Amino acid sequence: VTPKPVLIFVPGGWHTPGTFAPTTSLLSKAGYITIGVSLPTIGSELRNEPPRQGWNHDVAEIRRVLLEYIDQGRYVALIVHSYGGTAGSEACRDLSKIRRESQGLKSSVIKLVYMSAILLDIGHYIWEAKGGKPFDANRTIMKGDPCYATDTVPWFHNERSPRQQENIPK
C-alpha cells in the first residue's frame, strides 16, 4: 500500500496557514498529514518583527518544509493559494518526480495544486502583471516594499459567516 502524500499548504498574501483549517481538519480526519507553511514575509507586523526581505525568504521557507518531508522519503503534494503560487512554484524547482527519479531518488513533489493562485511566466513578477501598480489602493498601504492590507475580512472573506470570520487576522 502506497502511503498518502503529505499535503503542504501555502497561503496567499495577508493570510496565515490557519486560513486552510476548515479543509485541513477534514483531510487530517481522512488520514492525511497536512502542513501549513508560515511565510516569513506575511504577518510580521502581527508578530512584532521587522518585515522580512522578501520573496526569496518565502521560497526558502517553502522549500525547507518540502525537503523536510521529501528527505524522509515521503511524496508531497503542494497546494498554493494566490501569492503562494509564485513562491511555491519556485520552491518546487528540481523536486518533481521525473527530475528526482532521474537522479536515482524516489521521493518528490508529485502534485502542485493552484487554488486561485498567481502563475507567472519565468522571470516575471506580480507587480508586472498589475501594470507596475499595487493592488487596490483603497485596500492596501505601501510602506517601502511591504504592502499591507487595511482590512482583509471584507476583501477576502465577505461570503463567510460572522462566526467563521472571528478567527481571521484583521
Q: What are the pLDDT digits (tens) for 4-46?
A: 999 999 998 777 898 899 899 999 999 999 999 998 887 665 5
**Spatial contact of 21 and 40, defined as CB atoms under 8 Å apart:** no
Domains and CATH numbers, the chain: 1-120 (3.40.50.1820), 133-170 (no CATH)
Distance from chain centroid for Cα 100: 22
With CA atoms as reference, report the closest residue to 37 among 53, 50, 47, 24: 24
Q: How confident is the model at residue 60 (pLDDT cuts 50, 70, 90)?
A: very high
pTM score, whole prediction: 0.81
- What residue type is assigned to position 92 of the chain? C
